[in-house]
Amino acid sequence: MRETLIAISRRVKDAVQDLPPSFDRGLELGTGADGTPTSNIDQFAEDIILEYVEENDLPLNVLSEEAGALDRGHGRTLVIDPVDGTHNCILGIPMYSVSLAIGTSSLNDIEAGVVLNLENGDLFVAEKGHGATLNGRPLKVRSPDPRGCEVLVYMGRHAAVGTMDVVRRAARSRSLGCASLEMCMVAQGKFDAHYMNCDVYEKSIRVVDIAASALVLREAGGELVDLQGRRLDMPLDLANRSNFLAYGDVKVKEALL
């Protein structure tokens, strides 16, 4: 299962790398199944993945950001974010990924997940019960520095004002605009937490964005909760959204929520 996800992610990376400079990554093509604008690069990457699924007749349904839910008559579903961090990709900030996971009905039964950084090729892989790796090396979350934690926060027009409380409680904050890779950086022990607090439901996270990275984080010893502190679960659809705190060590949860 993981090998299939790795193969798909590599095919996306190769194709994105081969794009001519004339390809307008940010061109808006319309509105995806999730209700957000579809950029040229999102559609391009999704097409490659769907083509792979068809060509190899993978025994999987598909849930993707742009195409929505494709019931192909199977028990398991391939959960896709073709490009997470689309605007970073357009702006040339080297933080955007393809994110792929396989599960049955919700975030908590995801069995395998892959996040591939499309800029530098960093490959995060997780299999439920078998740990998480970055480029083949095992990942482990870290314990926070007693001088204060380092946090990745969601920023944007709809970021709740309370976001600033978290920023000011942390020693250091960044906002990198790519939830999957930001969650993987917590799994990697580079940051203590990733926090999203939107005051508009339609702008908070979807399961397609984090299905893979949540497994990477949990398999590396971290946890993902809603802002009431409950273990986060989300059905495999595009309708449900949530705010979240992803953390490595439970002390971080206590300090930030």
Given the rule CB under 8 A, which residues bind its own copies? 87, 91-94, 120, 148, 150, 153, 155-159, 161, 163-164, 167-177, 185, 190-191
Q: Which is nearer to its own copies, 78 or 181 (CB)?
A: 181
CB of 172 to its own copies, least distance (A): 6
Sequence-distant (≥ 6) Cβ neighbours of residue 203 within 8 angstroms? 156, 157, 158, 241
* Cβ nearer to its own copies, comparing 43 with 86: 86
What the block records as the tokens of 15 is 């194709």
CA-to-CA distance for 134 and 123, rounded, in angstroms?
Answer: 6
Residue 106 and residue 77: Cα distance in Å, rounded?
Answer: 10
Quote the least distance from Cβ 167 to its own copies, whole Å.
Answer: 5
Shortest distance (Å) from residue 56 CB to its own copies: 34
Q: Is the Cβ of residue 124 or residue 211 nearer to its own copies in the bound state?
A: 124
Q: Looking at beta carbons only, is 9 or 173 nearer to its own copies?
A: 173
CB within 8 Å of 80: residues ≥ 6 apart:
46, 49, 62, 63, 64, 65, 98, 99, 100, 208
> Going edge to edge, which strands form the sheet with 61-64?
68-70, 61-64, 77-84, 97-103, 112-117, 123-127, 132-134, 137-138
Task: Considering the complex, state which of residue 101 and residue 178 has its C-beta at the smaller distance from its own copies.
Answer: 178
Residues in the chain: 257
Tokens read off for 95: 């933080």
- Structure tokens of 146? 């007693």
Instruction: Name which of 130 and 172 has its Cβ closer to its own copies.
Output: 172
Q: How far is the CB of 164 from its own copies (least distance, A)?
A: 5
Residue among 108 and 175 whose Cβ is closer to its own copies:
175
Tokens coding 34: 């999730």
Q: How far is the CB of 120 from its own copies (least distance, A)?
A: 7
- Minimal distance in Å, beta carbon 77 to its own copies? 30
Contacts of 224 (CB under 8 A, 6+ apart): 183, 210, 214, 217, 218, 231, 232, 244, 245, 246
Could you tell me the smallest distance in angstroms from the CB atom of residue 246 to its own copies? 16
d(CA 217, CA 54): 30
